[in-house]
Amino acid sequence: MTDITIIGAGLAGCEAALTLSSLGHNVTLYDAKPATMSAAHHSDNFAEVVCSNSFKSDDLYSGSGLLKAELRILGCKLLEVADRVKVPAGGALAVDREKFSSQVTALIKNDPKITVKTEIVDKIDLSMPHIICTGPLTLEPLSSFLNEILGQSLYFYDAAAPIISADSIDMSRVFTASRYDKGEGDYINCPLTKNEYYEFVRELIAAERVRQREFEKDEIFEGCMPIEIMAMRGVDTLRFGPLKPVGMVDRNGEMPFAVVQLRKENEEGTMFNIVGFQTNLKFGEQKRVFGLIPALKNAEFLRYGVMHRNMFINAPNAIDRHFMLKKYPDCFIAGQLSGVEGYVESIASGLLAALNMDRALSGKRMLDLPRETMLGALTIYLETHHYDFQPMNANLGLLAPLDRIVKDKALRKREMCDRAIEIMKKLKND
């Protein structure tokens, strides 16, 4: 079988490497860690989950849940690991991030067909089989090399939420529950009264933020909006967003005015993520302002929220729906660099790039997934020209409509998702 080079051992790169190895190929996997670390990385392990530990909803009748279901049908390697190390998170799939990364790293390093090399790649022989998965924090000089061969790259900015110590939470001020009783009380909920909420919002808006350089301004991706920016859009914005109390019942059997949710970061439950609190506040301000939440008055911050640069290509101009470079058919780009947004989406792109690389090298027809599937709809989005191309998450709005009118929204979603699963099962067996 063919020797294939993969650059980047993040989620997409690891999925691609394991998939190609399982198909009989020899893989050389390059990664800069641990010799060189980006601003967002902390662990020496591969497939590091940097921001939230949530892989989003596992509900089949949601965009994220459907995507996972399709990936499981295709035998996704990293989702198998995620399912083994998941932590309670209501209807979501959340992982113990350390166990997840360490188990993926072990699979990579123990695979006899995968050779790992620790070094920074500065340029690529585009006539040889490559999958580029360097992610949203692609290092120099490779980012400049990509700019040269692809044209101007685009940037947006991503924000990570803080993590706090479980034993520093005032448990007398919280209640455990999942919204609408989805899950088994997997979240710790910190209620706020009307006065507490408005005081928190005032201080949040007024808090000192890390100074952005001029070219960083106005380039924040909507899906990772810092909570202080969200609050500036209106005093009640957070009550209809991450602090939404709807579907929650406190210890008194009443719906609170607002609720801050905490989600487990590890299986032992010693660390919790402040859900939806991606932020660019200075560290001292995070401790002060978030400490206005009664249950977090004495919170110990194990990791403060940070912002970092994310890079992605203008996918419609650079790659096709198979993740193959239009100008260089021996090379593929996958992961968030390709224009998908999200952990599972990155994994999906690595899987599809690997499957299509195998088909291309074998002279087989590429895997064309229809828009009736979530994977197909996402890849079709990537090759469709837009006035202002932006990264995309899996969502049901990308799917092809049904061939008949179904007015009931819930029923329409179910039928679209059931259709996608049936199509994917048939494609898997073909």
pLDDT, tens digit (0-9, with 9 covering 90-100), for 216-261: 455 566 667 899 999 999 999 999 999 999 888 888 888 999 999 9
In DSSP terms, 4 is beta-bridged to: 27
Structure token digits, residue 331:
């090379």
User: Taking 70 as the threshold, does the pLDDT of residue 183 lie above it?
Assistant: no
172 and 140 both lie in a single domain: no
Torsion angle, alpha carbons of 344, 391, 153, 5, to 10 = 20
My answer on whether 422 and 358 are in the same domain is yes
Shared domain check, 137 and 64: yes
pLDDT confidence of residue 178: 65
Residue 139: the pLDDT is: 82
Same domain, yes or no, for 143 and 182?
no
Mean pLDDT for the stretch of residues 89-95: 92
Length of the chain: 430
CA dist., res. 22 & res. 31, Å (int): 20
Check whether residue 166 and residue 302 sit in a common domain. Answer: yes
Q: Do the strands 92-95 and 54-57 form a parallel or antiparallel pair, or are they unpaired? A: antiparallel
pTM for this one? 0.81
Beta-bridge partners for 120: none
Q: How many degrees, rounded to 5, is the angle at CA 288 between CA 196 and CA 233?
A: 60
Q: State the pLDDT confidence band at 140, using cuts at 50, 70 and 90.
A: confident
Average pLDDT rounded to a whole number, residues 71-90: 96
| Residues 173 and 281 both lie in one domain | yes
pLDDT at 422: 97
Residues 14 and 131 in one domain: yes
pLDDT at 265: 83
How does the average pLDDT of the chain come out, rounded? 90
- At residue 211, does pLDDT exceed 80? no
For residues 51 and 145, state if they share a domain. yes
Same domain for 178 and 268? Answer: yes
Residue pointed to by tokens 């051992």: 9
Specify the pLDDT at position 390: 79
Q: Containing H/E element for 114? A: strand 114-118
Same domain, 91 and 186: no
Best CA proximity match to 48, nearest among 57, 58, 56, 37: 37
- Lowest mean pLDDT, pick from 130-139, 338-347, 383-392, 414-423: 383-392
Q: Name the residue among 330, 271, 324 with its Cα closest to residue 300.
A: 271
| In the block, residue with structure tokens 């006899």 | 112
Q: Distance of alpha carbon 236 from its chain centroid, rounded?
A: 27
Please report the beta strands in 130-257, taking only residues with DSSP state E, as ranges in sequence order: 130-132, 154-160, 163-165, 175-177, 187-192
pLDDT tens readout for residues 282-294:
999 999 999 999 9
Show which of 256, 291, 308 is a domain's final residue.
308
Contacts of 33 (CB under 8 A, 6+ apart): 9, 41, 44, 46, 118
CATH number of 268's domain: 2.40.30.260
Nearest to 200 by CA among 292, 306, 124: 292
Q: What is the mean pLDDT of residues 4-11?
A: 97
Q: Distance (Å, rounded) from C-alpha 265 to C-alpha 273?
A: 6
Angle between helices 343-362 and 11-22 (to 10 degrees): 40
Q: What is the pLDDT of residue 135?
A: 87
Residues 268 and 351 reside in one and the same domain: no
- Tokens representing 39? 């601003």
> Which range (128-132, 214-218, 256-260, 366-370) has the least confidence?
214-218
Q: Are 157 and 220 in contact (CB under 8 A)?
A: yes
- Choose the final residue of a domain: 308, 329, 364: 308
342 by Cβ neighbours in 10 Å (0-12 / 13-18 / 19+) ranks as: buried
Range of the domain at 70: 3-153+313-429
Band of residue 215 on the pLDDT scale cut at 50, 70, 90: very low
User: b/e map of 84-102 (b: 16 or more CB within 10 Å)?
Assistant: ebbbbbbbbbbbbbbbbbb
For the chain, percent of residues with pLDDT exceeding 70:
91
**pLDDT at residue number 182:** 62
Tens of pLDDT, residues 393-426: 898 989 998 998 988 989 999 999 999 999 999 9
Tens-digit pLDDT profile for residues 11-37: 999 999 999 999 999 999 999 887 676
Last residue of a domain, one of 254, 277, 308: 308
Say how many CA atoms lie within 13 Å of 284 toward its Cβ. 1
CATH of the domain at 400: 3.50.50.60
Q: Which of 108-117, 177-186, 367-376 has the lowest mean pLDDT?
A: 177-186
Q: Name the residue with higher pLDDT: 353 or 153.
A: 353
Q: What is the pLDDT of residue 214?
A: 43
Number of domains in the chain: 2
Residue 128 has φ and ψ, to the nearest 5°, of: -110, 155
Tokens in use for 394? 């899996």
Q: What is the band of 153 on the pLDDT scale with cuts at 50, 70, 90?
A: low
Residues 255 and 365 reside in one and the same domain: no
